Structure 1
Amino acid sequence: MYYLFIHFLYIANGMSVRDFMKILEVKRYSDNTINSYASIVKLARHFFKKPLDQINETELHRYFYFMVHTKKVSYSYQKQIALALKLYYKEMFNKNINLEFLFPARKPQKLPVILSKKEVMLLIQNANNAKHKCMIALTYSAGLRIGELLALKIRDIDSDRMVIHIRNAKGNKDRIVPLAEKIVGKLRSYYKEFLPKEYLFEGQKGGKYSASSLNKLLKLAAKRAKISKNITTHSLRHSYATHLLEKGTDIRVIQKLLGHNSIKTTMIYTHVTEPTLLNITSPFDDL
């Protein structure tokens, strides 16, 4: 059935990015991956001004040089470009191209931006309305990725069992995380005021709330709260994990709560909350 579907796409009116997205949907890639890969392909097609099946590997190398040295893309995005284009050529043209050697040789070890508990409260207090306050509070209280928060449906909040059911998260995995007691009342008040129909947080015209709007409202709340740190919604997730670790929560429990496949990913938080380092007194204080 899958190969019949692919054949249909080939004989349709040319190969479009939408066709690529349909293939990824059939192969059960996550919505976030599909949208990210589609965006990367669109940018590449715009750069070359011609179909990608007419591009040779030398031209692709030139494109990578442009993205790294002119656009200054991050390590992770550089790797994502290579993975997306490699998959696009494979699925759309049945062509294997070697782009792995264009992965950065070493990932920079940058520590995540962490908010204090006081700063988290200031963010929530300085949000515009009950919806914005709940979005920030829920993201932090459950350590959610932005896509996980925006994909939540009303039925995913189980106040009887006090859990949140996160569906089709990164890697197409479901997981259960605790629902904070203090947020239940806030969610009920928000629900009565805004009456969402399907998704827990919806845009003005219904449907999912947009990621760009969420990041924008977070920046505005940070500005009003006079928080100068360069934060994103992911900073709330980082802060959740760090605060759990500071409370003595086992690192493997945090791994499960965050939905990390590898403990190595979770270990980054040990670098920002190492007790033996944080409790060191500076010799300046002895002067």
Structure 2
Amino acid sequence: MAVPNIEIRVSGRKILVRMPKNEADIQLVRAIRFSRWNPGLMVWEVPHYPGNLEKLTSHFGDRIKLLEKDEVISTLAPSRQTIAKDELLAIQTPNKRLKLIFGFIPDLIKHIKTVPYANWDTKNKWWTIPYSEQFLQEIKSTAERLQLKFTHETAPPSEQGLPRLSPEDTAHYKRCPQEYRDKLTELRYSENTIKAYIPLFEEFINHFPKEDLDSLHDRHVMEFSRFLVAERKVSASYQNQAINAIKFYFEKVLGGRRKLYFVDRPVKEKTLPTVCSEEEIQRILSSIKNLKHKAILSTIYSAGLRIGELINLPITAIDSDRMQIRIERAKGKKDRYTLLSPKLLTLLREYFKKERPHFWLFEGSGSTSEKPIQYSERSVQQILSRALRETGITKHVTVHTLRHSFATHLLENGTDLRYIQSLLGHSDPKTTQVYTHITTKGFSQIRSPLDKLDI
């Protein structure tokens, strides 16, 4: 008779099998789809799918020493391995998401699906939603209504990865080939895309210092992608953009056919934008005494501009007759019109009389009529940073936050989401829907939120 020496524990969605090393047993377990060896726990992990437990018990028979079923749900929470069936665990992650771990509770799932950018993680078997105090309280209230024990935890900060290789780190740093740069220009890629692609491609080719550029192929792309995730610990958007920069070389520069690389291209989980209240915007703008600086931030907020759109505004973009601002060749190479606030127009006229710009609406120091110099993005960011220090606002506010605040305040004042989509230059209405529900006011009723402020 066989000696009982097999331990099987059913823990939520996993079957944990501890057994002596035996080639026949290992082959049986390995044959079960998605099974894997866990070296930390020294057990085999088998998915608790229908039929898997029966297959294991039938195979091991009398050799089973322990068969235990836990009334818990498996989780990868930082503080513990399992949660009870009547519990909801919410983990606030460093990337501003809420990780929601619980059993199969249809009413709770139904509520989660109403949250913008809710996502089901099929690998880890949990839900994630964007973090906000409002969503956290809604989830907590739903848990209490369903008589679930609610626990809120904060995940530790993500471990820092390796820094990007720079020219100073190696004596034989390989520069991006000129034909790569020329092709980007030839295909009219935006300046921002060019600035992003070139260093990303250089990082790729310098990751293989002993390889000639002509010898790099699919295997190198996959190896580099894994390096970005495992060693550099970059974000999903960084990894995706790096792969696109590499694909550009093989497909556009070399003229190869378009192809898919079998690497894990992550889906970026969306977060809710940070938004300032109207009172906070008032404090920021009122704290600025420099006329030009106030005009810069007021223009961004009152018209919902990106920072690149602001510094690319020529004087002729201001149409005071139609009370509009024309944005040319914005993101996606699109032109659009947005609002010209009457209060902003007054401020711009005052600024214009004092500064007398030559071509660009906002110009840097040393600008002349023969050689007008654009204002820099960094200078705009510094204006906002000083204003935030002056006002004592501690939330994470960037220049782009002013654009988000513009859209949110319009919606709060009753503006139809479809018009806001047009003002922001969004191609997909889903991009705009993050701000709030659709409303019904028409274009003629739109007023810039700046007009409500006393600045």
TM-score greater than 0.5 by the shorter chain: yes
Paired residue type of 1:98 = L
Residue 32 (str. 1) matches residue 192 (str. 2): yes
Kept in 2, the 8 Å contact 1:86–1:98? The answer is no
CA distance in 2, matches of 1:52, 1:73: 24
Residue range with higher mean Cα deviation, 258-267 or 58-67: 58-67
Instruction: Name the CA shift for 1:179/1:231 in 2 (closer, same or farther; >3 Å).
Output: same
2:431 paired residue number: 265
Residue 155 (str. 1) matches residue 321 (str. 2): no
Map Cα deviations across residues 82-127 of structure 1 (whole Å, 9 max, x no partner): 22221122222234553474421x3223110000111112222233
CA distance in 1, matches of 2:421, 2:410: 11
Residue 57 (str. 1) matches residue 218 (str. 2): yes
2:433 counterpart SS class: helix
Q: What is the deviation of 1:148? A: 0.8
CA distance in 2, matches of 1:26, 1:63: 27
Kept in 2, the 8 Å contact 1:115–1:236? The answer is yes
Q: TM-score normalised to the size of structure 1?
A: 0.80
Q: 1:131 aligns with which of 292, 299, 311?
A: 292
Q: 1:192 aligns with which of 349, 353, 356?
A: 353
Q: TM-score normalised to the size of structure 2?
A: 0.52
CA distance in 1, matches of 2:428, 2:404: 16
CA distance in 1, matches of 2:207, 2:295: 40
Alignment map for 1:30-109 (pairs within 5 Å): 30-49=190-209, 52-96=213-257, 98-99=260-261, 101-104=263-266, 106-109=267-270
1:241 paired residue number: 407
1:268 counterpart SS class: coil
Kindly name which structure, 1 or 2, has the bigger radius of gyration based on alpha carbons. 2
Q: Extract structure 1 runs of 4+ deviating beyond 6 A.
A: none
1:73 counterpart SS class: coil
Query: How many residue pairs align between the two structures?
Result: 258
1:176 counterpart SS class: strand
CA distance in 2, matches of 1:128, 1:81: 42
2:359 counterpart SS class: coil
Kept in 2, the 8 Å contact 1:165–1:174? The answer is yes
1:120 counterpart SS class: helix
1:174 paired residue number: 335
Q: What is the deviation of 1:139? A: 0.6
Instruction: Name the CA shift for 1:204/1:47 in 2 (closer, same or farther; >3 Å).
Output: farther
Paired residue type of 1:151 = N
Map Cα deviations across residues 251-283 of structure 1 (whole Å, 9 max, x no partner): 111111111110111111128x9xxxxxxxxxx
1:177 counterpart SS class: strand
Kept in 2, the 8 Å contact 1:127–1:218? The answer is no
Paired residue type of 2:271 = K
CA distance in 2, matches of 1:71, 1:188: 49
Q: What is the deviation of 1:188? A: 1.5
Q: What is the deviation of 1:17? A: 5.1
Paired residue type of 2:265 = F
Residue range with higher mean Cα deviation, 52-61 or 165-174: 52-61
Instruction: Name the CA shift for 1:51/1:118 in 2 (closer, same or farther; >3 Å).
Output: farther
CA distance in 2, matches of 1:241, 1:93: 42
Kept in 2, the 8 Å contact 1:142–1:177? The answer is yes
Gaps of 5+ in 1: 1-13, 274-287
Relative contact order, higher structure (CA 8 A, sep 6+): 1
1:254 paired residue number: 420
RMSD value over aligned CA atoms? Answer: 2.6
CA distance in 2, matches of 1:100, 1:220: 46
Residue 142 (str. 1) matches residue 303 (str. 2): yes
1 or 2, which has the higher strand percentage? 2
CA distance in 2, matches of 1:109, 1:16: 32
Paired residue type of 2:260 = N
1 or 2, which has the higher helix percentage? 1
Map Cα deviations across residues 22-75 of structure 1 (whole Å, 9 max, x no partner): 323332323332332234334434554576444343333343334334444333
Residue range with higher mean Cα deviation, 84-93 or 154-163: 84-93
Q: What is the deviation of 1:146? A: 1.2
CA distance in 2, matches of 1:56, 1:87: 13
Residue range with higher mean Cα deviation, 213-222 or 158-167: 213-222
CA distance in 2, matches of 1:243, 1:144: 14
Q: What is the deviation of 1:159? A: 1.4
